[in-house]
């Protein structure tokens, strides 16, 4: 996951972390590509606001890198600040999104559905 907000990271870790799931964090969008080589995640979770390079720009860059074969195809979930950001999530190529504040049950269910190949954006 990528977020510079500790509270967002804590909520995502609490919702997703268990004995079978490992969650790694970077604090900027610029760190994502290097982290993908080291971690090879099944799911990428991007906070909409990540320092100097936000979630939308990071998602767009990742989609370009995936299309070019520079990084493996991976599902991406964006954590949005408001409902109106759904347009940006859709345009950036995110597979799904959730609006903060996060509901841990919805976040976990959405992640499980994405990993199972059942992609459906949620709000």
Please report which confidence band the pLDDT of residue 62 belongs to, taking 50, 70 and 90 as the band edges. Answer: very high
- Quick check: is 122 in a domain? no
Write out pLDDT tens, residues 78-88: 999 999 999 99
pLDDT at 32: 85
Q: Is the pLDDT of residue 119 over 70?
A: no
Residue 120 has pLDDT above 60, yes or no: no
In a domain, 123, yes or no: no
Q: Which residues, other chains included, contact 9 with Cβ-Cβ below 8 Å and sequence gap of 6+?
A: 1, 3, 25
Determine which helix (DSSP H) or strand (DSSP E) holds 33, and give its type and residue range.
Answer: helix 32-39
Q: Is 55 helix (H, G, I), strand (E, B) or coil?
A: helix
Q: Based on the structure, what is the number of domains in the chain?
A: 1
Mean pLDDT of the residues in the chain: 90
The CATH number of residue 36's host domain is 3.40.50.2300
Range of the domain at 107: 6-115
The pLDDT value recorded for residue 118 is: 63
pTM over 0.95? The answer is no
- 81, part of any domain: yes
The percentage of the chain sitting over the pLDDT mark of 70, rounded to a whole number, equals 95
121 pLDDT exceeds 60? no
Closest CA to 47 of 3, 93, 11: 3
List pLDDT tens digits, range 64-79.
999 999 888 999 999 9
Q: Would you tell me the crossing angle of helices 32-39 and 55-67 to the nearest 10 degrees?
A: 50
Q: Is the pLDDT of residue 33 over 60?
A: yes
């Amino acid at each position: 996951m990528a977020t510079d907000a500790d509270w967002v990271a804590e909520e995502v870790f609490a919702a997703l972390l268990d004995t079978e799931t490992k969650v790694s964090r970077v604090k900027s969008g610029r760190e994502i590509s290097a982290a993908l080589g080291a971690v090879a995640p099944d799911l990428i979770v991007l906070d909409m606001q990540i320092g100097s390079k936000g979630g939308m720009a990071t998602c767009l860059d990742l989609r370009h890198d995936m299309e070019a074969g520079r990084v493996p195809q991976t599902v991406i979930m964006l954590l949005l600040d408001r409902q109106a950001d759904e347009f940006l999530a859709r345009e950036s190529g995110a597979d799904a999104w959730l609006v903060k504040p996060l509901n841990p049950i919805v976040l976990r269910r959405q992640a499980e559905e994405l990993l199972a190949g059942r992609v459906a954006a949620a709000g």
